[in-house]
Amino acid sequence: MLGDSIQAIIAQQLLPTKDGKGRCAANEVLLGSAALANMIREGKVSQIPSLIQGGLKEGMQTMDAALMNLIKEDRITPEAAYEKASDKSLFAALIEKKAKETYSMIIQKTRRSAVVHWSDDRFMEVSFFPSSLCGRAFRPGADTRCFQFHA
């Protein structure tokens, strides 16, 4: 019934642009098919993301793929994508890379060391300290990851 009548479903989320002056849309696209109708009829809706990933050639797109494309096009930040993502681990790695690059530049300029604190894949804080204290200044908790950068 329902599955047979679906032609397409498009979900849209608006995200702030990288420059902060506007918003851009990330769209998830699901096209109706016999496979979709069967999944709905059998209550296997958890398999729909796999159906979307397999339908790239037909024009389907997951929200995470749409977010990744907007990052590659330099229209949004990885942090904005992380907030809207289904699989946050994909975007946490991008945020981590960006933090490492940013703080490496700061450290080179200030000749200090730093520890970037993360918890539950979310950026928490950065601690800067003299290089002589490196390795002794911060002891991470069990749920915190640390990345040390040295001058």
In the predicted model, residues of the chain with pLDDT beneath 50 are 131, 133-151
- Name the token pair of 10: 């498009």
The pLDDT tens digits for 74-107 are 999 888 898 899 888 888 877 777 766 665 555 5
Residues 75 and 22 in one domain: yes
Residues 65 and 20 in one domain: yes
Residues 78 and 103 in one domain: no
Number of structural domains the chain divides into:
2
Residues 13 and 37 in one domain: yes
pLDDT at 1: 65
Looking at 85, 108, 123, the residue that finishes a domain is 85
Please state, in angstroms and rounded to a whole number, the distance separating the CA atoms of residues 5 and 99. 46
Residues 96 and 69 in one domain: no
Q: Show the domain range for 128.
A: 91-149
Please state, in angstroms and rounded to a whole number, the distance separating the CA atoms of residues 94 and 109. 23
Looking at 33, 51, 85, the residue that finishes a domain is 85
pLDDT at 75: 95
Residues 70 and 108 in one domain: no
Residues 66 and 127 in one domain: no
**For the chain, counts of helices (H) and of strands (E):** 6, 5
Residues 58 and 112 in one domain: no
First to last CA, the chain: 64
Residues 70 and 124 in one domain: no
Residues 102 and 79 in one domain: no
Residues 112 and 62 in one domain: no
pTM beyond 0.85, yes or no: no
